């Protein structure tokens, strides 16, 4: 099973929607709630190629993007293969 990490704000509707998709798929993930924590947000942005919007999602340390990116991968049947990969 892959290693999934998601940076969120607790009341962000896009964050909630992305987590709901992962939950429906039965995927365990590490959530980093960074409400108002600029240092954590800067660290996330470094990992996310400068993207500061939330959520930002990583699968096996690969930057996936945000909520829409995650849903697009699912729609194109590309998400499940990523989620089934073992971490390197």
Instruction: Please compute the mean of the pLDDT values over residues 37-54 and round it to a whole number.
Output: 96
Asked if residue 63 lies in contact with residue 49, where contact means CB atoms within 8 angstroms, the answer is yes
pLDDT value, residue 81: 95
Please write the tens of the pLDDT for every residue from 52-76.
999 999 999 999 999 999 999 999 9
pLDDT given for residue 85 in this prediction: 86
pLDDT of residue 88: 72
- CATH topology (fold) of 4-84: Glutaredoxin (3.40.30)
- Beta-strand ranges (E) seen in 1-88 are 4-8, 30-33, 56-59, 62-65
Residue range 16-45: mean pLDDT, rounded: 97
Nearest to 34 by CA among 14, 53, 10, 57: 10
């Amino acid at each position: 099973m892959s290693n999934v990490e998601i940076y969120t704000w607790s009341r962000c509707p896009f964050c909630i929607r992305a987590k709901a998709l992962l939950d429906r798929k039965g995927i365990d993930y590490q959530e980093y709630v960074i409400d108002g924590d600029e240092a954590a947000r800067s660290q996330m942005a470094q990992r996310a190629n400068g993207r500061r919007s939330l959520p930002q999602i990583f699968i096996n340390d690969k930057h996936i993007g945000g909520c829409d990116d995650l849903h697009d991968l699912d729609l194109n049947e590309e998400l499940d293969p990523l989620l089934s990969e073992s971490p390197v």
